[in-house]
Chain A
Amino acid sequence: MQVIGIAGTAKNTGKTTTTASIISQWQAPRALAVTSIGYDGESRDNVTGLPKPRLHLPAGALVVTAEKCLGAGSARLENLEKTELATPLGRLVISRVRQGGLAVLAGPNSLSALKFCISRLRGLGTKLLLVDGALGRLAPMAAADGLVLATGAARSRDLKRLAQETGAFAALLNLPRAEEPQEPALRLGSMLVEEDGREYAQAARGYRTVVFAGVAEQKPLARFLEGLSSAPALVFADPTKLLFSADLVETAALLRGYRTRGGRVGVVNPLPLKGVTVNPFFPDFNEADYCYAPGYVDALALHEAVARSVSVPVVDVIRQGGEELAKILDLE
């Protein structure tokens, strides 16, 4: 079973369009499962008021969503299992789509909840599970086998900056796999504030490997690297642990510099970036009438800028269709 997470760098970058596009390319609905780590169901964005795409699920597919969302879409669902996993919209239910239609998804919103759902879906014959993202959330995506990143002008209209950011994101996601160290290693939790970084650097003296179970924020990471007296191998649980900083470009640069200086950096559970989708759309705020209207950057320029910054395929789903994505994910 392949679990693909679709994460966005911001609202309106095209997560749901990307997910819908993959669904449309998948030929065996009964082996497909779909869920979301957030809530996806409004027909209009609740900030901009602009229309939002909604997910149309084919008959036969499995879906994991919260109790209160079960009757909210037009798809007819048959409930297979009510789990013990609670959400603000009720407990999660695994259902089979009996009659295709629109679905409202509010699925597992933590890493462990997603892992639980994956285990249940595996037992139901699922070959592909699509996990729709929520806002910029990434932590639960660590349970996926690979990630598709949706980015675009809604994140930034500065294409150079957007390309840099996407490149940094890709570099951090594609950190090499590291084996669990055999030798004595320093095992640490999260580096959340700068004081953590300085403290951990002191603690790392004499160790050849430092293993982080938790999050590493950019500023404490910088203090940590500055404070190191040697260059131990740095092992992170998974790449999402490095992706929570506001400045990913700086985080990626710090680790690149460390590696250049001979340090090794790896992750125990890789989350390979499979591809990037780009969306030229952005909600354009008009100060004259205080309304949002659809705005677009140059789609080709956006595609080129992002493609230059990453080594994985880049697809404009609206312009190129879903076939490209299908190839990337090897859906045939």
Chain B
Amino acid sequence: MKPLKVVLAPLDPVHDIGLKIIRQGLEQAGHETRLFPPDYSPQEIVRGIIEEGADVVLISRTLGYGVEEILAKFVDLVDGAGIRDRVKLGVGGMAIRPELAAELGFDAGFGPGTTVEAAVAFVEGREFIPAKKGSQKEKYGILGGATYAWRDSTIKARLDEIAEQIIAWAEKHGSPGIARARLRQEIIRRELLGENVEDLKREYAGLCSPVIADSYRNGAIHPETRRLEQWELDSLGEYVERTQGRMAPISLRSSLAKPGVFAQYGTGCPFMDIAHIKVAEAWGADGVVHFDPSWGARTEGFMEGYLTHRQDGSVITPQNLAAIKKALLPSTLWQVRAHRGLNTPETVVLAAHTGADLTKVSICYGALGAGTDPARLTVDGVESMKLAARHGLPFDVVTNEELCGVPAYKAFAGMLIGANLALHLGAKPILQPLFCYSPEVMLSGAMEDNYVDFNAAKILALRQIVDAPIWPGAPIGFLTQTEERVQSSVSTGLHAALAASLGVEAISIATSDEAYSGGPIAAASRIDTLRAVKENFRFFGRARIEPTPRAREWADEMADRIGAVLDEVANIGDFVQALYRGALGTREEGAYPGRTGQGTVTEAT
């Protein structure tokens, strides 16, 4: 095209860097540019435009008190001087939006984040179609290149002994949870064939807690829940379509290859969950984690239908999960947690059939920190791992019992038992140590100086034992965040930077109000921490955070103590008994073997 004359005028006392960058782009595109000094008045700029015979004028100005009036007056002067029809006017700067540009009389408005390409396209009169980042974004590979090679053969030998014992024990036992999982698979299979499943559902109801059984027998739903109405579902569909049309998801990782970033949701309402997911996706999360209500973990069986409730955690039903899956971008990793309660195997089945990418199975935490009977969760856990392996569903093994007060090395011993058991069953486990200000460090003072060393020690310890994917959580910085949004965001961001520096595969992050919201999470606070993480990744890039020598000392100490715990568990010779006896966390430390589901383990048929 014919080169155009472009005047760039910073109608601003100081700033013109944006225009200088755009000028470079325009000159590279072959246009003639003239950059005016920053102290020109609107009248002088108009006079300059006339003298230069400009085709296009780009004004740069940060909004402030009275600035709208100055910009409007500038446009009026251009119009009044009779040159408006031959000069295209664009305005850019902080807080400039298309609506404001329209109000002020400009032809285009460019806010923060405007690319040089967009400005050049405007100058040349071309429609600027930004690359659809969402469609280009690919699913993050969370397993990385982990080989699952054991680097500590002594620990590996102990873990193998324990795994063999657990598998042998589990083969002889069953549970209503396992029976329901098998029934659920059959229900799904027959529904796909269009067959009647009433008989199966009757059988299923017989394996459920009364409140769930009632929903199958009488249509009564759990008192904490209500059904979403048709108009709500209709508007949900419209909302997702409308929102996705506007979304251009960003990447958080800057120049980094990892970690992937997960956001957690579980507002109680699938509609609100989806809104949170859309926010998380738009602001760069690689994956989202479904949180179910704690009562769901203590109740046998799942209801059906689109259900919402006014408590933390969103009810798992086949329909709720399907609605959420439908709303996800193809690039979003989706984890449906199965880990801690009476519905663990069935959750894996539902997660796999609904299209989840990941699940979560944690026998030790569920049994010691989440209230489920150790025997029940062991037998259900083994079945869940088998199901996850069959469906190709990787899962993480958490160490949340640390939050109850269990020392990290004991929690890690439990996590490694779970991970090795998973490997024996053909599954792909992911280690999930906590990056947290735990009761253990509060008492020991290990984080008195910094949050880096102890968290780094955890990763170093695990790495010297096994080459497995590591996904600190959940969320990172747990118990370091306060009710202050800035503080919480900074803390989350710095923990994310530490995770990146340590080269872990993924992290889960909180919102800036999550720990203290006392109710619904605000979308804005979700953006706070996603932005904080992005900014930290941008700031540190491939530069490293250097822990002090204490980290290595603690890592070695931790690895030794993990070995000792595993010796003890192996010597007991019965994993379930080891849980009861406190080998993986004592009552004094805060680990209480759970009672939910006690007496429900059956002899295998």
Residues of A within 8 A of B (CB): 10-11, 37-42, 66, 68, 86-89, 106, 109-112, 134-140, 189-190, 192-193, 196, 213-215, 217, 237, 240-241, 244
Assuming the contacts A39-B100, A88-B98, A193-B44, asked whether A214 and B80 have C-beta atoms less than 8 A apart, the reply is yes
Assuming the contacts A89-B102, A244-B76, asked whether A192 and B43 have C-beta atoms less than 8 A apart, the reply is yes
> What residues of A have a CB within 8 angstroms of the CB of B79 in the complex?
110-111, 139-140
A135 touches B103 (CB 8 A): yes
> What residues of B have a CB within 8 angstroms of the CB of A37 in the complex?
105
- Which of A86, A192, A214: most chain B Cβ within 10 A? A192
B82 is contacted by which of A134, A137, A214 (Cβ under 8 Å)? A214
User: Taking chain A's interface residues, is the majority helix, strand, or loop, or is none over half, making it mixed?
Assistant: loop
> What residues of B have a CB within 8 angstroms of the CB of A240 in the complex?
76, 80
Assuming the contacts A88-B98, A89-B98, A193-B47, asked whether A134 and B105 have C-beta atoms less than 8 A apart, the reply is yes
* Least Cβ–Cβ distance between A104 and chain B, in angstroms: 9
A190 is contacted by which of B81, B85, B99 (Cβ under 8 Å)? B81
Assuming the contacts A139-B75, A189-B81, asked whether A109 and B47 have C-beta atoms less than 8 A apart, the reply is no
> What residues of B have a CB within 8 angstroms of the CB of A192 in the complex?
43-44, 46-47, 77, 81
A109 touches B105 (CB 8 A): yes
Tell me whether B207 is interfacial, beta carbon within 8 Å. no
Tell me whether B27 is interfacial, beta carbon within 8 Å. no
* Least Cβ–Cβ distance between A116 and chain B, in angstroms: 11
Contact with A along B79-120 (1 / 0, CB 8 A): 111101100000000000011111111111100000000000
Tell me whether B50 is interfacial, beta carbon within 8 Å. yes
B99 touches A138 (CB 8 A): no
Tell me whether B68 is interfacial, beta carbon within 8 Å. yes
Contact with A along B339-353 (1 / 0, CB 8 A): 000000000000000
- Which of A39, A106, A140: most chain B Cβ within 10 A? A39
> What residues of A have a CB within 8 angstroms of the CB of B47 in the complex?
190, 192-193, 196
A38 touches B103 (CB 8 A): yes
Cα-based distance from A190 to B72 in the complex (angstroms): 18
> What residues of B have a CB within 8 angstroms of the CB of A42 in the complex?
99
Interface size on B, residues (CB 8 A): 31
Query: Residue of A at shortest CB range from B85?
Result: A112
> What residues of B have a CB within 8 angstroms of the CB of A109 in the complex?
75, 102, 105-106
Cα-based distance from A189 to B76 in the complex (angstroms): 15
> What residues of B have a CB within 8 angstroms of the CB of A38 in the complex?
102-105
Query: Residue of A at shortest CB range from B80?
Result: A215
> What residues of A have a CB within 8 angstroms of the CB of B106 in the complex?
88, 109
> What residues of A have a CB within 8 angstroms of the CB of B109 in the complex?
88
Assuming the contacts A135-B68, A135-B69, A189-B82, asked whether A66 and B102 have C-beta atoms less than 8 A apart, the reply is yes
> What residues of A have a CB within 8 angstroms of the CB of B76 in the complex?
136-139, 240, 244
Cα-based distance from A89 to B103 in the complex (angstroms): 10
B46 touches A136 (CB 8 A): no
Contact with A along B39-74 (1 / 0, CB 8 A): 001011011001000000000000000001100110
> What residues of A have a CB within 8 angstroms of the CB of B81 in the complex?
189-190, 192, 214-215
Interface pairs (11), CB distance under 8 Å? A38-B104, A39-B103, A86-B107, A106-B99, A109-B75, A110-B79, A134-B72, A137-B72, A139-B76, A192-B43, A244-B77
A244 touches B80 (CB 8 A): yes
Cα-based distance from A240 to B109 in the complex (angstroms): 25
Query: Residue of A at shortest CB range from B84?
Result: A110
- Which of B81, B85, B104: most chain A Cβ within 10 A? B81
- Nearest 5 A/B pairs, CB to CB: A139-B79, A39-B103, A38-B103, A88-B101, A215-B80
Assuming the contacts A112-B85, A193-B43, asked whether A134 and B80 have C-beta atoms less than 8 A apart, the reply is no
Cα-based distance from A140 to B102 in the complex (angstroms): 13
B99 touches A39 (CB 8 A): yes
* Least Cβ–Cβ distance between B532 and chain A, in angstroms: 26
Query: Residue of B at shortest CB range from A246?
Result: B73
